[in-house]
Structure 1
Amino acid sequence: MSVNYSIEDAEKQYMHDFIKDIIDKFGPRMPGCESETAAAEYIKEEMSKYCTEAHTEKFKFHPRAFLGWIKIVIGLVAVSVILYLLLPFITSDAIMEMLLISASVVLNAIAFIIMWKQFFSYDEFIDKLFKETESLNAVGTIKPKGETRRLIIFSGHHDSARQFNLLKWMKHGYAIVIFLGLGFMFLWMLLSVLSLGLGIFGFNGMFFYNFIKWLFFILGIPCLILLAFFIWPGDRANTVPGAVDNLSAVAVILGLARYLKEHPDQIPESTEIRIISFGCEEAGLRGAYRYVEQHLEELKRLKAEVVNMDMVYDPENLNIFVKESTTRTKHSPKVIDKLKQAGNITSTPIREFGINSLEKFVGTISGGTDAAAFSKAGIDAANFGTIDLTHVVRYYHQPEDDIDQINKDALENAVKILIGYLQVSK
């Protein structure tokens, strides 16, 4: 069955103008800055025009922690390698040699644990080492006429990323540096442990010395230096307008709310619709995590379903994230199936992403979406948006992420999918 849900040109223009309006009024909105908070308040006011009620929810977090781990890990790894390389000049005593190799392994292990917890798990492992501040989630609610028996959430995020310098400078070379840097760290971890093991069992703990020395100078030093400049400190990093990532999604949920105000019959019976613009997604999904923590009992009681969107700009290239490889988070088969059905009944192209080897490989370093905060908590959730591996390096987390990147038809198609989702939920 195919149904034609017509989105008028005026609605497409509204969504496009909303994105431009936010950028013109507030500029870049890195997590925790004043412009991010002001944008949340503005979005709440916009939600109030089309929803039963709208409000903001304040939360605390540590904005520099999510990417702040990078320099800590670089420092620990560099000291670990240098300590090992200086061993012949420090001591010739076998016991002291083993103690220093042990210290090198421990530093390396600490670096690995920090990286794994902060990035590959999105845990708040070292967050308290960084300054705390406040941010806001903006929430709009469309209440049903009778009793609320279930909840459907449509969401995006209004903060923008800090500039990723390596992407700005190197484009496709960014991925090469990241994987070489990670490769060096994992290889050094393995070799340091092997060196310690050899020493413990009476063999030469310096067996890999020359190999490690050249590995460090040829691969380690260039990668560590580049990674040290991953982002600028302070406000210097706040250069990204964040049109695609992710005002596009906020515009779509507002476009949906406008549509539902004129077509309330599209809302399933006894179903509350909630549109949420999260803060601080670019700081490790902190806004979404706080929302889940504060509302978990309610989300489970109402059997909530969450459709999150991230980066909507190409009408012919909308993808459902089946799994987020960075954090190894699998999304709800139920929500994924309903999104595919929604695409079918609205004749809107949408496909699954994260199935083939290249997509899984790239997904390893691409980070997470706010949907992961819900899926990790056992709430049915999924994410969809545009993923174009050839085009994304031109603007992603760079000053080029502006309104010119967005095709209005992509916003229309995303709204159609959300309307279709409501229909298959009836």
Structure 2
Amino acid sequence: MKDETKRYGDEAYEIVNYAAKTVGSRLPGSDGEKKYADYMGEKLREIGIEPKQEEFFVSPRSSIGGLSYAGCVGVILSGLTYIALQITSLWIGMALASVCAVIWLVFSCFFYKTWFDMFFHREISQNTYGELVPEDGKYDYTIILSGHTDTSWTWRHSEHAHKYKDDNPAMGLIATYAKVGFGAICFFFMCLVSIFMAVVYTGDLCHATWAQNIIDSTAFNNFRIVMHFVPILTAIGSMFVVMWGDPNERNASRGAMDNATGCALSYEVIKYFKEHPDKLPKGCRIVDLNVGSEEAGLRGSMAFADAHKHDDLTKNAWNINIDSVADEEYFEVVIKDDWQGCRFDTDMEKMFKDTFKEMGIESKTNGCIHNPVGGCDSTPMTKAGIKSVTFAAQNPMLTYYYHTWHDMPERFSAETVGQGFDVVLSVIDKIAAFQEEKGFNGPQKK
């Protein structure tokens, strides 16, 4: 951390402490999320920037927050199997339920589509942002600094790994991935079995020869015998999925790393330029964006991109999305959302890598990763035509503190957060130089 910017890093760490210890958990659409968004708005007002707040509907449990529902489906299918083995028409209903569950799981939980939101309980969330423009009021491009205000439900299997953190952290990771993997296999197995059995017995009702041949086969009869025992295992495995997210809001993540650090750093950077107008790049507008409901399937960044698709907030715009800056050995730029097949901007990727090299930052991930779990707010930004990457300093494994109530500020230092501040300032300088030399060229994927 540079001496001249140390106080900004320290102040960012103080904001992180306030978020985790005073506000606490901030689930999407919750009172805690709104309290923190309002707090960050007041921080902007303190430095003379009037915040704007845009509300939007969110269904917190319609996306990845509802993974436990998939486990419930797996348990129910496992139990109904014993009845369906006697009343074969029941397989048809089980198959329909399986198809609906898989479609919802794939498109809503993995691809973050909003198609199913209408079927889930809704809350009101908000995006809160402030703008800093040059003293002459003229700007040619915008740099949006974003961090999400909400936190996740505690992921029980990750939290259980806490007991291994000192003596055998590898065992904690193995246990977490094993339970999650076994649960997923059991859920999909029961869905596939239900669909297969429904197809066979529907064919039999239609007097299809192929269906009657399958039913009369030795293999099918042996399979029916096996299915008197397998549902016991699939029910246990599906229970691991049910247990995935703790529904109790009081047990939710306190979100020190993920992502009070992102909001705090975004604010401190805009504060820095407010206090040092001579440092603000020529023709550049800075926006501090506190995004709501990221943990509910990127709903806040989707809402922001949609609300501003016709104004200049998304034109000639760069986005440094800051998400979890805490693990000093894992400074990295996130360059792709694999789940949604979205490649982030390669120009900004190079800027971050060059900055890490210039600052002598060494990372166990070589300073670059694909998004490890779920998505990040760079995805909607990139799809909106904004040049974006996500900056993080986070172990990409399912650690005991990721999305659990163990995500507290005592686990990391103000120095790490301050180093993140210096990284962002350096990248902004590189963006300014790029703009002056080449102008805005849109998201680059090669």
- Which TM-score band (shorter chain)? 0.7 to 0.9
Question: Does 2:236 align with 1:222?
Answer: yes
Q: Name the CA shift for 1:187/1:87 in 2 (closer, same or farther; >3 Å).
A: closer
Cα distance, 1:139 vs. partner?
0.6
Identify the residue that residue 125 of structure 1 maps to in structure 2: 115
Of the candidates 357, 368, 377, which is equivalent to residue 370 of structure 1? 377
Aligned to 2:407: 401
The residue type paired with residue 388 of structure 2 is A
Q: Among 51, 64, 85, which residue is 1:54 paired with? A: 51
Specify the alignment match of 2:319 in structure 1.
Answer: 306
Aligned to 2:267: 254
Give the distance between the partners of 1:66 and 1:51, measured in 2 at CA. 37
State the Cα distance separating 1:12 from its structure 2 match: 2.4
Alignment deviations for residues 32-51 of structure 1 (CA, whole Å, 9 cap, x no partner) = 22222121111111123346
Q: Cα RMSD between the aligned structures?
A: 2.7
Distance change >3 Å, CA 249–CA 288, structure 1 → 2: same
Deviations 1:128-181 (A, max 9, x none): 222222122221211023422211111111222222222222442222222212
- 1:353 maps to 2:353: no
* Aligned equivalents of 1:274, 1:21: Cα separation in 2: 22
What amino acid does structure 2 have at the position aligned with 1:159? D
Post-superposition CA distance 1:4-51 (Å, at most 9, x none): 965443222211112112334322222222222121111111123346
Identity of aligned residues (%): 20
Give the Å deviation of 1:197: 5.5
Tell me by how many angstroms 1:373 deviates: 2.1
Matched, 1:87 2:84: yes
Tell me the residue number matched to 1:107.
Answer: 97
From 184, 187, 209, give the equivalent of 2:186: 184
Q: Which amino acid aligns with 2:389?
A: A
* One-letter amino acid of the structure 1 residue matched with residue 301 of structure 2: A
Among 128, 145, 148, the residue aligned to 1:138:
128
Residue 287 (structure 1) aligned with residue 300 (structure 2): yes
Task: Provide the residue aligned with 2:435 in structure 1.
Answer: none
Question: What is the identity, as a one-letter code, of the residue corresponding to 1:384?
Answer: F
Output the CA distance in 2 between the equivalents of 1:373 and 1:213. Answer: 46
Letter in 2 for 1:73: A
SS of the equivalent of 2:66 reads helix
| 3-state SS of paired residue (2:282) | coil
- C-alpha separation in 2, matches of 1:132 and 1:100: 32
Per mean C-alpha deviation after superposition, the further-off stretch among 110-119 and 324-333 is 324-333
- 1:415 maps to which of 408, 415, 421: 421
- Partner of 1:58, secondary structure, is strand
In the superposition, the TM-score normalised over structure 2's length comes to: 0.82
Contact 1:266 1:422 in 2 (8 A): no
Q: Classify the secondary structure of the residue corresponding to 2:110.
A: coil
Call closer, same or farther: CA 1:191–1:149 in 2, change over 3 Å.
same
Q: Give the conservation status (yes or no) of the 8 Å contact 1:81–1:104.
A: no
Give the deviation of 1:74 after TM superposition.
3.0
* Partners of 2:78 and 2:232 within 8 A in 1: no
Match 2:146 to one of 136, 155, 160? 155
- For residue 301 of structure 1, report the CA deviation from its aligned partner: 5.8
What's 1:93 paired with? none
Q: 1:422 to 1:232 in 2, by over 3 A?
A: closer
Distance 1:128 1:276, change over 3 A: same
3-state secondary structure, aligned to 1:204? helix
Partner of 1:94: none
CA distance in structure 2 between the partners assigned to 1:68 and 1:247 by the alignment: 19
Counterpart residue identity of residue 339, structure 1: F
Write the distance in 2 (CA, Å) between the matches of 1:245 and 1:195. Answer: 44
In the alignment, structure 1 segments of 5+ residues that lack a partner are 91-96
Q: Does structure 1 conserve the Cα–Cα contact (< 8 Å) formed by 2:9 and 2:419?
A: no
